[in-house]
A = this chain, B = another copy of it.
Amino acid sequence: MAGEVRQLDDRKLAVLRAIVQDYVGTEEPVGSKALVERHNLGVSPATVRNDMAALEEEGYIHQPHTSAGRIPSDKGYRLFVDKLAEIKPMSAPERRAIRHFLDGAVDLDDVVARTVRLLAQLTRQVAVVQYPSLTRSTVRHIELVALAPAKVMLVLITNTGRVEQRMVDCPGTVGETVLADLRARINARAVGQRLPDVPAALEELPAMFEQVDRATVSTVLATLFEALAEQNEERIMLAGTANLTRLGHDFPLTIQPVLEALEEQVVLLRLLGETTDAAMTVRIGRENAYEGLNSTSVVSVGYGSGDESVAKLGVIGPTRMDYPGTMGAVRAVARYVGQILAES
């Protein structure tokens, strides 16, 4: 049917935009009279009321109770984000400040820590930054260190600056020459490879060693592969939880499930995982899979050192948030973190 998604005329869209903007500002249901006063819509309150009735009919807004003002629904915010709002670019001073703040970082941990704090502060919401993912990164170096006759420490260094280490208990004593040989051969084959490709690249390695050493080689490789796989369980950093206190009036009920969700790395990872790589993703209210976040929105985007995104970052806030501003901040921060990573 043609009428399934009824076309809203321009003025109705303008009314919706005005409602969203006012509600985000005041946190209070917005009525027809206040609307025409604050935005010059050029029509009377009565007209606006008719438009509001239509918007409510379509499910874009609703009233908390009869004879109160209107509040945008998830669907209303969705339309606002998709059609009515432009991402608000950061001002030049803001961009300089971001740049300057991130430039001071000394290592990867510090980059992530600064990023997350910056994002929380800019948006005055909860910020989440995923560590650059191991799956996307490549091997810079693999080091083997004999700590005891049958104990080897394995250190994996990636091009994103991340370091993973594992203890390996070998089946027998490991000679220094064998270890050196193994180290050289592993690095020759693995350096520059993407982590998921490493196992394939090292497949024939055990066959290249004397029979007696094969058990050791296999053990070391097994540990390495395990480190590669297991650390796909990726890490996340969080900041700005104190901003949750500005969430709503009906406090404990709103804030508790959110705090609980934030403590579950798994939830956060899934949340960011839903981001389509390149474009900015906005999940509004019920659109979030996780129930505890049903009254929040998540704005996230991928970032990376170069053309490709290696991880995601974003912010979590009330559905009633300043979408243009938040999206602008998220985009700007992602861009600069990418640059920093590319440089280092």
Listed in ascending order, the chain A residues whose CB lies under 8 Å from chain B are 106-107, 140-141, 143, 145, 147, 153, 155, 157, 161, 163, 165-166, 230, 239-242, 244-245, 251-252, 255-256, 259-260, 262-263
CB distance from A111 to the nearest CB of B (A): 13
Q: Which residues of B contact A242 (CB under 8 A)?
A: 256, 259-260, 262-263
Report the bound CA distance from A239 to B241 in whole Å.
12
Main secondary structure of the interface of A (DSSP, over half): mixed
Report the bound CA distance from A161 to B151 in whole Å.
14
Q: Which residues of B contact A244 (CB under 8 A)?
A: 259
Report the bound CA distance from A157 to B167 in whole Å.
11
Copies in the complex: 2
Contact of A143 among B106, B143, B230, B262 (CB under 8 A): B143
Given contacts A242-B256, A263-B239, contact A107 B145 (CB under 8 A): no
Q: Which residues of B contact A241 (CB under 8 A)?
A: 241, 259, 262-263
Given contacts A259-B244, A259-B245, A263-B242, contact A145 B165 (CB under 8 A): no
Report the bound CA distance from A252 to B107 in whole Å.
36
Closest residue to A164 on the B side, CB-wise? B163
B140:A157 contact, CB within 8 angstroms:
no
Q: Which residues of B contact A251 (CB under 8 A)?
A: 251-252
CB distance from A316 to the nearest CB of B (A): 14
Q: Name 9 extra pairs, CB < 8 A, besides A163-B165, A245-B252, A251-B252.
A: A107-B165, A107-B166, A143-B143, A153-B157, A239-B263, A241-B263, A244-B259, A245-B259, A255-B255
Of the candidates A161, A240, A255, A262, the one having the most CB atoms from chain B within 10 angstroms of its own CB is: A255
Report the bound CA distance from A162 to B141 in whole Å.
18
A263:B245 contact, CB within 8 angstroms:
no
Report the bound CA distance from A143 to B223 in whole Å.
19
Contact of A255 among B147, B161, B245 (CB under 8 A): B245
Contact of A147 among B141, B155, B256, B263 (CB under 8 A): B141
Report the bound CA distance from A214 to B163 in whole Å.
28
Contact of A145 among B141, B239, B245 (CB under 8 A): B141
Given contacts A155-B163, A259-B244, contact A147 B143 (CB under 8 A): no
Could you name 23 residue pairs across A and B whose Cβ atoms are closer than 8 Å? A107-B166, A140-B147, A141-B145, A141-B147, A143-B143, A143-B145, A153-B157, A155-B155, A155-B163, A161-B165, A163-B163, A163-B165, A240-B263, A241-B262, A241-B263, A242-B256, A242-B260, A242-B263, A245-B252, A245-B255, A245-B256, A251-B251, A255-B255
B157:A145 contact, CB within 8 angstroms:
yes
